[in-house]
Structure 1
Amino acid sequence: MEAAPIIGGLATLASVISFTPQAWKVIRTRDTSSISTAMYAVTVVGFALWLTYGWLLGQWPLIVTNGVCLLLSGFILVMKLLPRRGKKAVAEALSVPPAGEPDAR
């Protein structure tokens, strides 16, 4: 097997996985105070542009990877911009109790 598909696959995996812990922490804690709004806004724009670029080229690896990263980083940005009760509503809709609280389900 050639090196390029292996490197591309590993890059995809690292990119997608990198946002998962932050998204999960935001859901669990409902705390976004330490997240930079500007950084996530630029990140979301970057992924939207990469997704568009992949779409224009018809490159499914770019489309899928950047689409998933756009969803995850967009979710984090939306949670950052939501008021506290909005964060709580989203987390409760996902059925995740706040960190440190027992699951009352």
Structure 2
Amino acid sequence: MLPSAELVGYLAAGLTTASFFPQAVKTLRSGDTKAISLGMYALFTSGVALWSLYGLLVNDGPVLAANLITLMPAAIVLQRKIVERR
């Protein structure tokens, strides 16, 4: 018997979200954002925000949950990168 599509979605969302956290935690702990591309992080964070909105609009729980969870540390790292450039 195959797992439900929703279960697969939540598992995929969990794995991709979890894969983001080690680098984000390392960056937040060290405070070093020199190796991070501002353009890439700005695009990434904007994309995550839009995927969150998409998940909300189409009522897709896995997409919404994964992207809201990822958005928090992504926005913090982006903010630190912007502050570092000043």
TM-score by length of 2: 0.81
CA distance in 1, matches of 2:28, 2:53: 28
Change (3 A) 1:36 1:83: closer
Between 1 and 2, higher relative CO (CA 8 Å, sep ≥ 6) is seen in 2
Distance in 2 (CA, whole Å) between partners of 1:18 and 1:82 is: 25
Could you tell me whether the CA contact under 8 Å between 2:6 and 2:62 is conserved in 1?
no
Q: How many residues were matched structurally?
A: 84
Q: Is the 8 A contact 1:50 1:66 kept in 2?
A: yes
Deviation at 1:45, TM superposition (A): 0.9
Residue type at the aligned position of 2:64: I
Of all paired residues, the percent bearing the same amino acid is: 37
Aligned partner of 1:97 in structure 2 is: none
CA shift for structure 1 position 4: 2.7
The DSSP-based 3-state class of the residue aligned with 1:32 is coil
Which consecutive residues of structure 1, in runs of 5 or more, have no partner in the other structure? 85-105
**Contact 1:54 / 1:63 at 8 angstroms: preserved in 2?**
yes
Distance in 1 (alpha carbons) for counterparts of 2:80 and 2:20: 13
Runs of 4+ in structure 1 displaced over 3 angstroms?
Answer: none
The letter of the residue matching 1:12 is A
Q: In the TM superposition, what is the alpha-carbon distance from 1:6 to its structure 2 partner?
A: 4.3
TM-score, length of structure 1 as denominator length:
0.68
Instruction: Name structure 2 gaps, 5 residues minimum.
Output: none
Structure 1 residue 68: Cα displacement? 0.8
Q: Which structure shows the bigger proportion of residues in helix conformation?
A: 2
Which residue number corresponds to residue 71 of structure 1?
72
CA RMSD, aligned part only?
Answer: 1.9
